Structure 1
């Protein structure tokens, strides 16, 4: 809740049964087509490059069976622009590193440009939290579960330094709940509030009205541990050059049933128009707080809108 300095001192993020970073159920995994491959590692100079870039060398060759010395890695890709996720299980040889996964994900998702892989926090029981633990570079060891998303980089700019933007909704009881998946950004974009706002706008595919609403929210520097986000101070710029993964939080206010809102809609012909609606209910969808909005004129129900898309009147 808000204290004397008007910011949340800390917040415990409670895991739900359907977090966006939750493992796919076993029966779903068994029905998925597994990619079974043999990988010839690229040269050392290539694998040590930025984790967001394709590797030009290296060979991927299909095999009919997986040797007993192999292991499985589950990869979940978040498509922030299309608001969708895709999951795949890769069978890999022991002693492979993350360069293998970067190669395979690019082959699996050829339309994706620069991407970054990362891990999330978990507790001693294996419960996953929607909080980024570490960004994975090509030379890193393979974890069992990998998450990935597309990133937007300046033209021909490589980077080894990353930051995380967490989007939360402050509920009326003082609890913070995830309002969006964590967004991975390059560190240099965190040098000013305006630069980080532009990164969020691109990653969320926000309209001008949605971007202006986002700019009016509170931004905080934070530290993250298992299930715990400590909001340290207001974010204005980030100048720390340390190797640690810097994280910030954007806090949106919660909306209640009956609240009037504005929606900025774009049709398939890229024509933008606005509608007015009323919050019908809020619910958690895959661990993210979403709103169902009833259009005022026709009564049509728009489901699963995020805090970034719903603008209070």
Structure 2
């Protein structure tokens, strides 16, 4: 039994590097897909809503508790952004930009902990948050949106928002791109080296194959109804038979009015001519020997 060739140090190193980039690209892609709904999309939404970083003065004016999916079109806080809400608590507030102003800037605005109104313990516990703002008459600092004044949030840290966005995009995306570039280069230039000068990868000499090998003529022993040669010859024979019969009929039709032609003599003439034409063809053995 022939012994398997031992891998060199370079081959082992190349294998481990390739495996590393495969795992890096896979985990980077899944990490990016995971971060899109939980970090990237909320961060972009917070930036686009243009919240005023100067806190406003808010007062809770109404609390609505509803039950049922159709009634809970929104809730002030829910555990998990993808969770279905069957019981909801809607907190409405009035806010004004300056504490010295006696007029409200907006009334009955929706109060949320963040732009998506959802959180995950222990960073944000909706039960604790709701108890803090659910009492009517409670006053606190809040941040309103310049794009949608009806939206008010209780926590805003734009520096942390930008930082989370950078971390969520600057690590997975470049890692995935670098992995794809390396795997592409490895596939086309490292693992796809063609043998040169008749020498294979293992150093064995190889005999070059001719560019084109003429197909041997079909023999009676190799000719079977299921073979590809039989089907091709049959199709070629039928086509040439139709063309030849059409030419003979067109030539003989000129003399039909003056010289009567017997159908049996005409058919015998077709068979004789085609047997002569295909004498060297394999159909000769099927149609002309009998």
**TM-score interval for Structure 1 and Structure 2 normalised by the shorter chain:** under 0.3
1 or 2, which has the higher helix percentage? 2
CA radius of gyration, larger in: 2
1 or 2, which has the higher strand percentage? 1
> TM-score, with normalisation over the residues of structure 2?
0.19
